[in-house]
Amino acid sequence: MKNYIGNPLQTRGAEQYVLQGGKGSGMHFLYVRNGLGLEAWLSLDRAGDISRVIFKGDNMGYFAPCGYVAPQYYDGVGAGFLKSFTAGFFTTCGLTAVGSPCSDDGEDLPLHGTVSNIPAELKAIEEDETGLTVKLAVSDAVLFGRKLVMNRTYTFSYTENSFEVRDTVTNEADTKSPYMLLYHCNMGYPLLSENSLVNIPNNGIIARDENAEKYIETALETEKPQAGYQERCYYYDVKENNGVARVGIYNGDISKGVYLTYNKSALPCFTEWKMMGKTDYVLGLEPGNCTPDGRDVLRKNGALKFLEPDENCTTTIKFTFMDNINDYEEVF
């Protein structure tokens, strides 16, 4: 191929950009494309989360009304997180709090924790004929408090339309720390519509609240955008095969879909966030090591996980995109 092009970026690779204008002004992004139709924007100032994914011309994720918001505008009180929740293709929630705002062990904890508003340090970009690797580090640390470091590695394939995110979180403090992690993966239009097919093979489902319970029989059915829609959350015991769990979504209207593959032992919980509102139209497919009920609830229920000093935990999710319903159905 090299004889046909003047520069590798003609077909694939990574480029860095700085956003101009509005609350996102000055934010740094790494734009990656694999030459096969997959494009992704890594938000370096927001933990290296992926703000956008385009697959063969179609948008895959949800982009919230607030748009791009730089970390300096983050409101860490209560549900202030929502003022800068770009959502994007996925947002990392954690590392010591996930879910509802609460007070726990003397701390006032905001919605979904703080890690998604911490800038990542770009450590390396490596490339060969099979793919491109991006290495990042995010330090969630305070004086006299938690000292967690998340080393994040993305691997974008050049041989198929997929990428993998691998996170290793290490407790560098001398005391044990709560460890909560949830991948808030947000599917949006045109991947998401009333004609989308959602697959969450499971051994059981639990509604988060009374409103969700009323509609549990249609939990996997997508709907048209509706005014006044009240969000619904469902917790699944996702089936696994040799420890590997799979969930996905496909829309025949655009003949495109994506499925997530992850290790269930590291991410034993799975939340479906169903929000079919007008403009607030999103489906969350959310593997995690916890549910989004808040740290106080998990501690009370004996479900809160911890990292001991110098202990680490690694989680991996692979996202595979396809444009053929037969290929998608073979997975499920």
- Per residue in 264-317, pLDDT (tens digit) is 999 999 999 999 999 999 999 999 999 999 999 999 999 999 999 999 999 999
Average pLDDT, the chain: 97
Here the CATH number for the domain that contains residue 108 is 2.70.98.10
**Which residues span the domain enclosing 264?**
2-331
pTM for the whole structure: 0.97
pLDDT digits (tens, 9 = 90+) for 133-154: 999 999 999 999 899 999 999 9
- What whole-number percentage of the chain has pLDDT above 70? 100
DSSP 8-class letter at 283: E
pLDDT tops 90 at residue 257:
yes
Query: What is the DSSP code string of 52-79?
Result: EEEETTEE-BEE-TT----GGG---STT
pLDDT at 145: 87
Cβ atoms within 10 Å of 58's Cβ, excluding its own: 18
Are the beta carbons of 111 and 304 closer than 8 angstroms?
A: no
List Cβ neighbours of 108 (8 Å cut-off, separation of 6 or more).
77, 101
pLDDT at 302: 97
Cβ atoms within 10 Å of 154's Cβ, excluding its own: 22
Cβ atoms within 10 Å of 1's Cβ, excluding its own: 10
pLDDT at 296: 98
pLDDT digits (tens, 9 = 90+) for 71-115: 999 999 999 999 999 999 999 999 999 999 999 999 999 999 999
- Among residues 314, 253, 315, 260, the alpha carbon closest in space to that of 284 is found at 260
When pLDDT is cut at 50, 70 and 90, the band that residue 1 belongs to is confident
Q: Is 302 exposed, middle or buried (0-12, 13-18, 19+ CB in 10 A)?
A: exposed
Number of domains the chain contains: 1
Q: List, in sequence order, every beta strand (DSSP E) within 142-268.
A: 147-157, 162-171, 177-178, 180-187, 196-199, 202-207, 232-238, 240-241, 244-251, 256-263
- What whole-number percentage of the chain has pLDDT above 90? 98
pLDDT at 93: 98
When pLDDT is cut at 50, 70 and 90, the band that residue 118 belongs to is very high
Are the beta carbons of 148 and 172 closer than 8 angstroms?
A: yes
pLDDT at 2: 79
pLDDT tops 80 at residue 41:
yes
Q: Cα 35 vs. chain centroid, distance in angstroms?
A: 23
Rounded Cα distance, 236 and 199, in Å: 12
Degrees, nearest 5: CA angle 64-169-15: 55
